[in-house]
Homo-oligomer: A and B are copies of this chain.
Amino acid sequence: MTSRGLLLKSFRKVNTQHKTCIGCLATTPSRHVQTGPEPATPRIVTEIPGPKSRQLIKELGKIQNVGAVHFFCDYDVSCGNYLVDVDGNVMLDLFTQISSLPLGYNHPAMIKAVTDPSNLSTFVNRPALGIYPPADWVGRLQAALLSVAPPKMHHVQTMACGACSVEHGMKAMFIKFMTERRGSATLTPEEMSSAKEGQPPGCPNLAVLSFNNSFHGRTMGCLGITHSKYIHKLDLPVPDWPVARFPELKYPLDDHVRENQEEERRCLAMVEELIDTWNRKGLPVAAVAVEPIQGEGGDNMASRDFFQGLRDITNKCGIGLLVDEVQTGCGATGLFWAHEHFRLSDTPDVVTFSKKMLTGGFFSKESFVPKDGFRVFNTWVGDPSKAALLEAVVNVIKGDNLLDRVKVTGQHLLNGLKQMQGKYPGLISKARGLGTHCAIDFKDAASRDKTIAKLRERGVHTGSCGAATLRLRPALILENKHVDIFMESFDRVLANMNK
């Protein structure tokens, strides 16, 4: 029997023992779902991508571009923190589908949500949610979203994905900005006809200010506020909007307090200056968009003073502040929303989410909810079946105190990273993070990429971002024992790199 066969056999045995196997309902029992317990360690049996993955990549390549495909996965037998590929390689997954799995693979609560008969019609009948919501929709919004809303936010709009969340979040801000400018004046026929044609005054020249190294998505509006990698925007006619500098902090933070404060002050001054300049040239800035931690751009962090400053400037200028929590939201920083760490004196105006939230969408202040229908709208405006899954996830996060676990595991992880950077000072630096949302920089991209490849050969799957950063995006169910497995491999790989 092949090692893959053995692995499957052992998983299925586990299933039978635990009587959690859903496959018993199948007419053809060939595909079963693994529900636990997860493997004790990684186990690598082929190179990655292995022969089966390579064959599938070749076949998929006849249908679409496969330049981004790493390997094909067997999601039936992936479990907890462990991802299994089609060649039977079992990897500790610290990247979790680009940071989009809250509870790892095949969590019993998510299986229960899908197989619960009372959710069946939710999975079968996707409605045009903005016109014909299901009977349980208000309750679902309350249980899945409002129960974990950022402080003082009581309004939420679902969307299908992160990009649509940011696009419509920006639209809500443009609409608020112009509604305020219009004041008590009624809409003119000229505004209406020019809006249809896409011309001022109906479609005014407005901008959203963003930061260098930012990433907010890949549709046209989102690309106007995205500045992390050239490949995202090359050959595309994206909006030309102002870009401020995001603070480049020096590490260790304790040794560079004054320099970092000055850097953040410079960046904030640039924000104010840009708002002023663009207003004067007739292209008013209607909003500022920022990530609490810049993800794609290199896990760049700034202090709470910086974010408080940004909130103060936007309030002073009467423009909106959009905090994009697509990557940082849903608990990975140890608080449900990363911006809670900043203890802002006034909540952001719009907070976008997706990824681990399973549904896209955005929270907003009441004043940023459009007064008319059909303005923030599309056919589906989200998907109740994703909200059903999210409700199950939120219940697990609360019931299992996962935010507390993330704090403990995150501290263990960050301590380990700091220990490693002490041990390999020429190679890695700037260990940083909140909760398990951690990262560390390499001296260059080549050594970072080689480390990621070597880690994967040892069965630990991680991700990259920015120029030379390794990013860790585990699920919320990560435990210290998983950190130890990673850290042992990391130590060995770095030792070999240093040879």
B198 and A65 contact, CB distance less than 8 A: no
Please, which residues of chain B bring their CB within 8 A of the CB of A227? Answer: 196-198
- Is A496 on the interface with B (CB-CB < 8 A)? no
Given A106-B125, A237-B204, A138:B196 Cβ within 8 A: no
Q: In whole angstroms, what is the CA distance A86 to B240 when docked? A: 47
> CB-defined interface of A227-248 with B at 8 Å, one 1/0 digit per residue?
1111111111111110100000
- On whether the beta carbons of B162 and A378 are closer than 8 Å, the reply is yes
Query: A164-199 vs B: 1/0 string, CB under 8 Å?
Result: 100110110011011100000001000111011111
**A39 at interface by CB-CB < 8 Å:** no
Inter-subunit contact A237/B128 (CB<8 Å): no
A137 CB contacts on chain B under 8 angstroms:
56, 60, 72
Main secondary structure of the interface of A (DSSP, over half): loop
How many angstroms from the CA of A192 to the CA of B235 in the assembled complex?
10
A75: Cβ under 8 A from any B Cβ:
yes
Contact for A238 among B130, B203, B238, CB less than 8 A: B203
A150-158, A429-437, A446-454 - interface stretch: A150-158
Closest CB in chain B relative to A65 CB, distance in Å: 5
**Which residue, of A28, A105, A179, A197, has the highest number of chain B Cβ atoms within 10 A?**
A197
For the side of the interface on A, what is the size category? 35 or more
Does A31 sit within 8 A of B, measured CB to CB? yes
Within the oligomer, what is the number of copies of this chain? 2
Give complex CA distance A220, B193 in Å: 19
Q: Taking the complex as formed, is A317 at the interface, i.e. its CB lies under 8 A from any CB of chain B?
A: no
Q: A75-B122, A160-B161 are in contact. Are A65 and B371 (CB under 8 A)?
A: yes
Measured between beta carbons, the chain B residues less than 8 angstroms from A69 are 130-133, 373
Measured in the bound complex, the distance between the Cα atoms of B68 and A372 in whole Å is 8
Residue of B nearest to A199 (CB): B240
Is B379 within 8 A of A117, CB to CB?
Answer: no
Question: Contacts A156-B63, A161-B161, A238-B203 hold; do A126 and B358 have CB atoms under 8 A apart?
Answer: yes
Question: In the assembled complex, how far is the CB of residue A23 from the closest CB belonging to chain B, in whole angstroms?
Answer: 5
A75 and B125 contact, Cβ closer than 8 Å, known pairs A219-B164, A237-B239, A355-B379:
yes
23 contacts between A and B (CB under 8 A): A25-B117, A30-B118, A32-B117, A33-B124, A63-B141, A64-B155, A65-B371, A65-B376, A69-B373, A72-B132, A73-B132, A97-B131, A100-B128, A101-B125, A163-B219, A196-B227, A197-B227, A203-B234, A203-B235, A204-B235, A220-B239, A237-B239, A239-B239
Extra 12 A-B pairs, beta carbons < 8 Å, given A107-B124, A219-B219: A66-B373, A70-B131, A72-B132, A75-B127, A97-B132, A105-B125, A163-B378, A167-B218, A187-B234, A193-B230, A202-B230, A204-B235
CB-CB nearest 7 A-B residue pairs: A67-B373, A220-B221, A178-B235, A68-B373, A31-B118, A26-B117, A195-B230
